[in-house]
Structure 1
Amino acid sequence: MYLQQRFVFLALGFVVLLSSSGASTLDSDLSALLAFRSTADVAGRLSSWNLSAAGDPCSSWFGVSCSSGRVTRLVLENLSLSASSHHFFPAIVRLDQLRVLSLKSNSLSGPLPPYLSSFKALKFLFLSHNSFSGPIPPSISYISHLYRLDLSFNNLSGPIPNSLNHLSHLLTLRLQSNSLSGPISGISLPTLQDLNLSSNYLYGAIPPSLSSFPASAFSKNPVLCGAPLPNCSNVVSEPSHPRTTAPSVVTSSPTSKPEASPPAGNQNSDATSGGSAGRGMTRVAVVAIVVGDFAVLVIVAGLLFCYFWRKFSGKNPSKLNEGEKIVYSSSPYAVVGMERGIVASASRGGFERGKMVFFEGAKKFELEDLLRSSAEMLGKGGYGTAYKAILDDGSMVAVKRLRDIHVAGKREFERHMELLGRLRHPNIVPLKAYYFAREEKLLVYDFMPGGSLYSLLHGNRGPGRTLLDWAARMRIAASASRGLAFVHHFFQSPKIAHGNVKSTNILLDKSGNARLADVAIAMLGPATAGRSGPYRAPEAPSDSRRPWSSQRDDIYAFGVVLLEILTGKPAAGNSGGSGMNLPRWVQSVVREEWTAEVFDLELMRYNGIEEEMVGMLQVAMACTADSPDQRPKIGQVVRMIEEIRGEAEASSSLDSFESDCASASTAGGGGGH
């Protein structure tokens, strides 16, 4: 049967090659699409595919996109398409300029054809959640520019061909929930970022090139072993029948032999000879061991209690200078760094007792309340360490312990804090209070329970991840831009900048609204403490001896954040496997007219957002222009983002934005620092 199917496919492939030997045009692409519709659209879902209707097929035909006069994108998902691959693939493969092909979540069936290499320009191939059967054709390995391959949730069988190693640009390989079998020791894909081979019948050792992926990528393959799964010493390398045979257990020694089963006639031989050995130990021995262990445990606990009671009962906390106390939190993430640092400062000579200074409307508490609180460390940055502290009344605050502060003295620090304390906006994390002493400087903010944009975008990209949909990303981008606009307009003379815009400093409150954190902290520390790498504008000085920030630099950094939102990639690192930072990688991809490939794969599930994504990409690229004079001002950025979000929403948001800017100018117009 398989040989018959292969002969039919080869014959059809020969016809396809002959038919495509002439010059292909948009007309030939549309003819191929109509041929596909006639065979696969049994539910009549592609009614817009009509040459007699008015309008451009590239914009009016559902799921079809064009570039340079050719069909380059075909996305037909969840449309109840139903046909055998013998009938529809010969039409699809005539679209030789396709870059994106997605037919997932339909009812397509049959084996994958051996002539897939005809898709010379294909970058994304998604055929998941269908009923395709048979082996993975080696011809896939000749789609040399393929980035994403998803054949999951089908009925594919046979081995995973080692020829996939030829896909030198492959980032995603999803083959889970098929009936694939055989070893994978020959698979080596150094550029791979997303892998799932779970729920198959694969066996043998996982190669070192794939061992860095999580165990979930290989789960439900009963005889697969090696990191990140358990080692292979207890599993045979090949089952006799992968569908029915459970993995056999062998001894860990390579020279030992498995024990033979007892003869049928000697089932009770262990019971009649050497019975005590078969049972291991007598009941009396077990009871004696348990009682002895319990007695030892009681003695050790008593000794430890006596030791610590004598050690701490005689100590008087009031002996610490200036009333500072060491209070041990019950939390495993206690504010150890902040607590020890303050106590150490108190124990040295010449300690200057500071005090908590609160801004209007903030609930007051003492430094000792912070030290006594249950707390955990949130992270370390260039300007200090941040903690979440839970006060006695249950309220939560974020505390930043500053280090390497470049201010002349207490009065200069206080003036800067007074400036920050006046920044009140729905999209800025408010400063509640600060503490100043010669050896210790703390900033207290409202705690943002929604986490950071960075963690939402880049944390746990594997299975079970909570997706950040397009609407949420747009809302975060718009909110953050409005917060930055307020900062830029708050003081007219002198102007201030945020100085450290990045995805880790965009936090979400309990309502999901985005707020900027660490506003204007950059003016307190060295230039190297702030943003670095791709967040730092090209014109930023290399001199780290003095603080530096500018509003144009903020715009560049915000453009990088927008690129993170669009691509799903972190700003620094191996973007796209190219080794370049994110702005340069995006510029190179767009320059090659592969714009669709920069967008986060998670966004491809949402229909009708292509225009908005391209619009946001244009805003991000304008913000990251190398020349600061070519970058838009923040007011222009806010308007562009709101216009992309939609006219009705933009109108009310822009009215609010104008009001914010006016109030900012009024409130801060006479300020300085």
Structure 2
Amino acid sequence: MAPPPSLHFLHLTIFTFFLLLHHHLLLLTEATQTPDLHPLLSFKTASDTHNKLTTWNSTTHPCTWSGISCLNNRVSRLVLQNLNLSGSILPLTSLTQLRLLSLKRNRFNSPIPSLSNLTSLKLLYLSHNNFSGQFPSSITSLSRLYRLDLSYNNFSGTIPVTVNNLTHLLTLKVDGNQMSGHIPDINLPTLRDFNVSGNRFSGRIPESLSGFNGSAFARNEDLCGAPLQKCKDIATIVSPLNPRNISSAPTVASSPSSKPLPGKPTRKHGAPKLAPVVVIAIIIGDVLVLAVVSLLLYCYFWRNYSSTEGKTKTLRESKSKSNSDSKVLENNAYSSSAYPNGYGKGGMVFFEGAKRFEVEELLRASAEMLGKGGFGTCYKAVLEDGSVVAVKRLKEVHIGGKKEFEQQMEVIGNLRHPNVVSLKAYYFARDEKLLVSDYISNGSLFWLLHGNRGPGRTPLNWTTRLKIATGAAQGVAFIHNSNNKLTHGNIKSTNILVDVAGNAYVADFGLSIFKTRSNGRKSNGYRAPEASPDGRKQTQKSDVYSFGVLLMEILTGKCPTDVDGGGEYGGGSVDLPRWVQSIVREEWTAEVFDLELMRYKDIEEEMVALLKIAMECTVAAPDQRPTMCHVLKMILELHGGDAMSFHGALDSVSESPSISIIT
């Protein structure tokens, strides 16, 4: 028997009631778990009059909405640019875990509310709106702020001196507003990007800001001082014959072109004559200054000359300094044992395409020491015909025999790639082993990153760093693809050479099999956890680890063998991957990156992407690391390299003459 219709209707009503109750409870629970939900919906209601934020609704989670990124279920990034938004941003002040807020190119026109709740904020971009009122004083309490861009709005008033509280600030831009008054003495050592142009500022530019380009202060008619025109100082003219005229003396601008005051007689023969004693003192002073300058110039050029003379020797002289038997190389060069079948005169073995010369010509070449490494000393040698080569004199190496050495040189010498230093020739004798390769003129990546960190240093810009990382990845990937057992074995910044165009060349590869236990500890900062301390047992995955450390070095500007661990590690040194992990932890932070990179705009995403690649390369388990081919592919994709360029980079492997020899 069917229930009466009234009872069925009652059941349906009760079911619907509990369903709605359950739905509201779910929304309430979600709102409790996501406290950012209601502020975001309030912001959309007040500001999104054109319904641009179509994914923002109460039925989905805020972390899935467009323009939003979350961390631990809280909004950490809010990027809403060029969406025609307007109204007030007051609801956003409840997003207490916000790290990045970008509202560029909208139509917000009210004063900025207090942002003091946003204590985690690091990046604040509000440019190209119509925000009005005074400089938001609450911003100066955001001690973690790195970038502040308030340009092209309608702000008025002055910049508060409390902006000096922002001790981590890298960018401060208020250009294109209606601000006025004096620019305060802003003393922020980390500040790299500063602009107050297009306002109504007046007075003298503080000395602490005089190092910025003149364009940072342009279109402020009443500003003066470096880097703009000099300020006109007011000086008082006092008659030396009548000191009582001090109070009534007129004032003029201290300019050589100042004209005499009207009504005052001028001397017929110009200015008053100087006393003979004064003239003599001036002459003596000029002579002394000239003598001091001449002495300084003499000392400077003599020091450089002496330094050059000290560095430039012949290879034979360099040999005599490091070895008492100065004639070993010369005697071996002309002994009968130095003429095996197939060898050139003097025992030199040349590879295809290399210019041939005798050992004696190499000995007579002027040689300048470039540096010492784990395998010996490297020299720049200028041959008699003017050609330049790099010569490595192997020391502290363990070589089983001549045949083993020749086989490895054959493998290395036949590798040819635009990002690999080509081995031109080698020489083997009982007491002497020489490797002759291409000379790269601009030095190593190590010097470009760490050399001359003081005043006058030319920073290595982001574009060049990314180009070097790409070239080095292409070189190492080529080495790995030429033979599945061949490794570099000693990847570090001193072995990545760079020419004047920023092209990278991988050097010193394939020599790790000759390492001794004594020289294997010198590159611990790059060594993979599973690699042997003596460096002889290397795999391609350990190369990947070392390359990941190299990428971290490019990004952080820190030398992997000398990283300060700070308080967390007892103040001692710590390896670079571990330091990066300790800084990054749950978020990608600007603290990791080299301060020299912070002056460049719109590169944060690329830097973070490259850091992720570096961290993939340095995972502890070798089988979880990518191959070098995959690393290269990720780097190429990072800066727009397409699949064709990637395959082109690998296709060059198959064209190498080494393939027929190795396989």
Q: Same fold (TM over 0.5)?
A: yes
1:433 and 2:425 aligned: yes
Deviations 1:168-214 (A, max 9, x none): 6x2625458686746648x577xx474758988677776xxxxxxx9
Query: What CA distance in whole angstroms lies between the structure 1 residues aligned with 2:619 and 2:558?
Result: 19
Q: Which residue of 2 aligns with 1:29?
A: 40
Letter in 2 for 1:102: S
Provide the residue aligned with 1:535 in structure 2: 526
For 1:139 and 1:110, locate their aligned partners in 2 and report how far apart those are by CA, in whole Å: 18
Deviations 1:119-154 (Å, cap 9, x if unpaired)?
Answer: 232122245688878765442243243344456788
Aligned partners of 2:552, 2:325: CA distance in 1, in Å? 51
Q: Which structure 2 residues correspond to residues 115-514 of structure 1 after superposition, within 5 A?
A: 115-127=114-126, 136-149=135-148, 158=158, 160-162=160-162, 164-165=164-165, 167=166, 170=168, 172-174=170-172, 181=182, 184=185, 187=187, 192=190, 194=192, 216-217=211-212, 246=232, 268=266, 275-277=273-275, 281=279, 336-337=310-311, 339=313, 342-343=316-317, 345=319, 351-352=327-328, 353=330, 354=333, 355=346, 356-365=348-357, 381-384=373-376, 386=378, 396-407=388-399, 416-435=408-427, 442-448=434-440, 467-469=461-463, 473=466, 477=469, 479-488=471-480, 490=482, 495-507=485-497, 514=504
Counting only pairs closer than 5 Å after superposition, residues 10-21 of structure 1 correspond to structure 2 as none
Matched letter for residue 72 of structure 1 = S
Look up the SS of the partner of 1:592 in the other structure.
coil
Residues in 2 aligned to 1:204 and 1:445: alpha-carbon distance in whole angstroms: 53
Cα deviation, 1:318-358, whole Å, max 9, x if unaligned, reads xxxxxxxxxxxx99985853625632546965512145542
Instruction: Verify the 8 A CA contact 1:448 1:507 in the aligned structure 2.
Output: yes
How far apart are residue 69 of structure 1 and its match?
4.9
What secondary structure sits across from 1:434 in the alignment? strand
Partner of 1:652: 647
Change (3 A) 1:391 1:280: farther
Is the contact made by 2:526 and 2:545 (CA closer than 8 Å) also made in structure 1? yes
Structure 1 residues 617-628: aligned runs within 5 Å? 617-628=611-622
CA distance in 1, matches of 2:164, 2:632: 45
Residue pair 1:555, 1:633 contacting (<8 A) in 2 also: yes
Contact preservation (8 Å) 1:335, 1:377 = no
Matched residue of 1:585: which SS?
A: helix
The answer (yes or no) to whether the contact 2:381–2:390 under 8 Å persists in 1 is yes
For 1:505, the aligned partner's letter is N
2:339 matched residue in structure 1: none
Output the CA distance in 2 between the equivalents of 1:623 and 1:29.
38
CA–CA separation in structure 2 for the residues paired with 1:423 and 1:30? 61
Q: CA deviation at 1:557?
A: 0.7
- Report the CA distance between 1:483 and its aligned residue: 3.2
Look up the SS of the partner of 1:118 in the other structure.
coil
Determine which of 551, 560, 569 is the counterpart of 1:562: 551
Note if contact 1:485-1:634 (Cα within 8 Å) is conserved in structure 2. yes
Contact 1:25 1:69 in 2 (8 A): no
Question: What letter is aligned with 1:649?
Answer: M
Question: Structure 1 pair 658/408, CA: closer, same or farther in 2 (3 Å)?
Answer: closer
**One-letter amino acid of the structure 1 residue matched with residue 542 of structure 2:** D
In structure 1, what is the Cα distance between the partners aligned to 2:470 and 2:363?
37
CA contact 1:537–1:557 (8 Å) conserved in 2: yes
How far residue 558 of structure 1 moved from its aligned partner, in angstroms, is 1.1
Contact 1:183/1:205 (CA < 8 Å) preserved in 2?
no
In structure 2, C-alpha distance between the alignment counterparts of 1:205 and 1:580, rounded to whole Å: 38
* Cα deviation 1:453-486 (Å, max 9, x = unaligned): 567777899999674349x83x755553453244
Q: CA offset at residue 624 of structure 1?
A: 0.9
Q: What letter corresponds to residue 98 of structure 1 in structure 2?
A: L
The alignment's TM-score, normalised by the length of structure 1, stands at 0.61
Matched, 1:74 2:78: yes
Residue 111 (structure 1) shift: 9.3
Match of 1:631 in 2: 625
Consecutive unaligned residues in structure 1, runs of 5 or more: 1-19, 39-43, 207-213, 223-237, 251-256, 302-329
Q: How many residues were matched structurally?
A: 554
Q: Distance in 2 between matches of 1:387 and 1:362?
A: 18
Per the alignment, residue 231 of structure 1 pairs with none
CA separation in 2, counterparts of 1:395 and 1:88? 69
Name the % identity. 39
